[in-house]
Chains A and B, each alone.
Chain A
Amino acid sequence: MVLDQVDLTIYEGEITTIIGKSGSGKSVLLKHIVGLLAPDEGTILFRGQPVQKMSRSERDRTFSQISYMFQNNALFDSMTVFENIALPLRQTTSLSQKAIEERVTARMEQMELVNVAQNYPSELSGGMQKRVALSRALVIDPKMVLFDEPTTGQDVIRRNAILGMIAQYQRRFGFTAVLISHDVPDVFFISNRILALSDGKIIFQGTPRQFEDFEHPLIDEFVQSLEDFQEHLTGIQSKRQFRVRNQMDLRRKGPQDSYVVASFTLQDFDQLCEHLGHTRGQEVLNAMGAYLNKHFGAVGGFSARQSKNQFTTFLPFSNLSEAERILKTFALDLQKEGLRTIQAEAHISQDICFPFAILAGLAESKAGAEEIDLVFKKAEVSQREIARVYCEIRR
């Protein structure tokens, strides 16, 4: 039995990520949702309506709102990239040829595929094939998209770019997304809910935050198997490592010893991704993570990525006035050299420059005085702009 007593809810308009070890039944679950497989027993409800009891036309109407992106892409290898993306529009809509061309071209532009429109899938890299499959899944403007391991075989930058792209489109078009992904913790930054599947059973349903606190041998085993829950993108510590380490540091301190938390935000990150492409957006994040590490590591600080575009740095040996001095030096350095380094590492030239700002805030507390999450929140609230990229205006 692949799935056993699986009982789960997918919330409309949210991103739900299904995680689990290989062979735990994730793809089978997704194929049941999209109607490729029928359950031996049990019911699948779509907006409260049992799918099995729907008439053929009702079922067609329901499933026509769902797109599916296959693990191996399932592209038609005898069709060009353009034809692959246009296929669902040509076969299931009555749009004119011109309208189809416009829609497909727009989608290819968003996915940076225009140059390969007339190529065949076998002529493309694995990453490009993924983007073609993603374009095909999104071209019909679906209400729900199921992604079966959309980032498999991608490098860390591209992986986060794809996840970022999914999140961006999900927000823009408002579709419900269900993902199967192994990219922990990257996938947590875009997910509203996490479902953990093990041996055909759901062992966890909840938010990414709840998942981090969820204690279960299978979760630990899963997390261990994923290279110790590392933050691959930024090269800095994962949230879990960060928590463990700051708890250890706090335990070592006396009740009157203070510590400082710094919170950083890359402002207008979505617009930056839209303007420069998701890959460059992720490269900016990557470079910023490295830059934070370099600076604050020297004073005993350590950082973690808190959300899609936010970092938190824990300064265990500093008080507020010291931390303010460190931050001031950091801000000057960032404005003078750092932003240029970040742009260079993300391959952003002045020709394609996009203005963005970095915000920072500090909060001080004493060991055991309050919940660390509250201190994070205070630091976030106190954020102000510390550096900004200015682009030359060409006339």
Chain B
Amino acid sequence: MDKQTFFTSPVTSLGRTALRWVNELGAMVLFLLRAFLMIFHPKQFPTIIQQVYFIGARSAMIVMFVGLFTGMVLGLQLFHTLVKFGSAGVLGTAVALSLVRELGPVLTAIMITARAGSSMAAEIGIQRVSEQIDALDTMRIDPLRYLVSPRIAASIISFPLLTAFFDLIGILGGFITGVMLMGLNAGTYFHHVRTGVEMEDVTGGFVKAMVFAVLVSVICCFQGYYTHLRRDSYGAKAVGLSTTSAVVMSCVLILVADYVVTSLLL
């Protein structure tokens, strides 16, 4: 074996980390492909509906609440900025475009990661450490099909819908601050919202939401599913660390993917 030196040691360590990342990425892609193909299994429908309720319906309130205040802050900040340039009238366009193109998909995805993604990772992690996943295997129920596929499908359905809610409530938030508090004309606000936002902005926002849906659901399920393979801890602690990793990785990758998708769309 080659002797490690002061100079080669960091390189070796970097190489090892890179290899681990590449391996994990490969495993995650295979995990996604296998789980995605099983979405279309005939017995999936009821489980997907359950997951849409959990990921989508039960996240709606918090997403709309965040959307309202994001829109209100945007309305307030942009109004003061636009007034300086004498173009306060285009507040509607500025708020709507910011929300539909960027903030809506990104903040919705981050909120769902915090609420549903963490719970996905923890739930699957606990099922792994308490042998419930092994029990599924022994019952000839594919755990990927039963646990992961419905969550991916439900995320793909829920993320764009919640993003739409976020955008809509956010625009109303902008209306509250821009029109009701700062005195901008209501007709002007909505006119600029309607004329400023084009269909491709909305489509782009939904594309991002779907990309984030796949990322968040796969990362969270993957972290939970392979909790038992963690080298840094076991049992309940491993579940905790997997949940943390899932949330951190999801949030970081949402922002990275946002940049990549935006650059492809523009």
Instruction: From the candidates B127, B135, B146, name the one contacting A70 in the complex (CB within 8 A).
Output: B135
A residues 122-143 near B (Cβ < 8 Å) are 140
Beta-carbon contact of A74 and B141 below 8 Å:
no
B residues 108-161 near A (Cβ < 8 Å) are 123, 127, 130-132, 134-135, 137-141, 146
Q: Which residue on B lies nearest to A133, using beta carbons?
A: B135
How far does the alpha carbon of A91 sit from the alpha carbon of B123 in the complex, in Å? 20
A352 close to B (CB within 8 Å): no
Residues of B within 8 A of A90 (CB): 43
Instruction: From the candidates B127, B130, B137, B146, name the one contacting A36 in the complex (CB within 8 A).
Output: B137
How far does the Cβ of A146 sit from chain B's closest Cβ, in whole Å? Answer: 8
Beta-carbon contact of B138 and A91 below 8 Å:
no
How far does the Cβ of A134 sit from chain B's closest Cβ, in whole Å? Answer: 13
A residues 61-76 near B (Cβ < 8 Å) are 63-64, 66-68, 70, 72, 74-76
Beta-carbon contact of A34 and B138 below 8 Å:
yes
Beta-carbon contact of A68 and B138 below 8 Å:
yes
What 0/1 readout, one digit per residue, does chain A (14-44) give for beta carbons within 8 Å of chain B?
0000000000000000010011100000000
How far does the Cβ of A8 sit from chain B's closest Cβ, in whole Å? Answer: 20
Chain B interface mostly helix, strand, loop or mixed?
helix
Beta-carbon contact of A70 and B139 below 8 Å:
no
Instruction: From the candidates A35, A66, A68, A74, name the one contacting B130 in the complex (CB within 8 A).
Output: A74
How far does the Cβ of A172 sit from chain B's closest Cβ, in whole Å? Answer: 22
How far does the alpha carbon of A67 sit from the alpha carbon of B139 in the complex, in Å? 7
Residues of A within 8 A of B134 (CB): 31, 36, 70, 74
Instruction: From the candidates B123, B130, B137, B141, name the one contacting A87 in the complex (CB within 8 A).
Output: B141
A88 close to B (CB within 8 Å): yes
Interface size class of A (residues with CB under 8 A): 20 to 34
Instruction: From the candidates A64, A75, A76, A78, name the one contacting B140 in the complex (CB within 8 A).
Output: A64
Beta-carbon contact of B135 and A92 below 8 Å:
no
How far does the alpha carbon of A92 sit from the alpha carbon of B41 in the complex, in Å? 12
How far does the alpha carbon of A78 sit from the alpha carbon of B51 in the complex, in Å? 14
Beta-carbon contact of B43 and A91 below 8 Å:
yes
Beta-carbon contact of B135 and A68 below 8 Å:
yes
How far does the Cβ of B135 sit from chain A's closest Cβ, in whole Å? Answer: 4
Beta-carbon contact of A72 and B139 below 8 Å:
no
A373 close to B (CB within 8 Å): no
Known: A70-B135, A74-B134, A77-B130. 20 other contacts (CB 8 A): A31-B134, A34-B138, A35-B137, A35-B138, A36-B134, A67-B139, A68-B135, A68-B138, A70-B134, A72-B130, A74-B131, A74-B132, A74-B135, A75-B135, A76-B135, A77-B132, A87-B139, A88-B139, A91-B43, A92-B140
B interface residues (Cβ-Cβ under 8 A, vs A): 43, 123, 127, 130-132, 134-135, 137-141, 146
Q: Which 4 A-B pairs have the closest CB atoms?
A: A74-B135, A68-B138, A74-B131, A88-B139
A interface residues (Cβ-Cβ under 8 A, vs B): 31, 34-36, 60, 63-64, 66-68, 70, 72, 74-78, 87-88, 90-92, 140
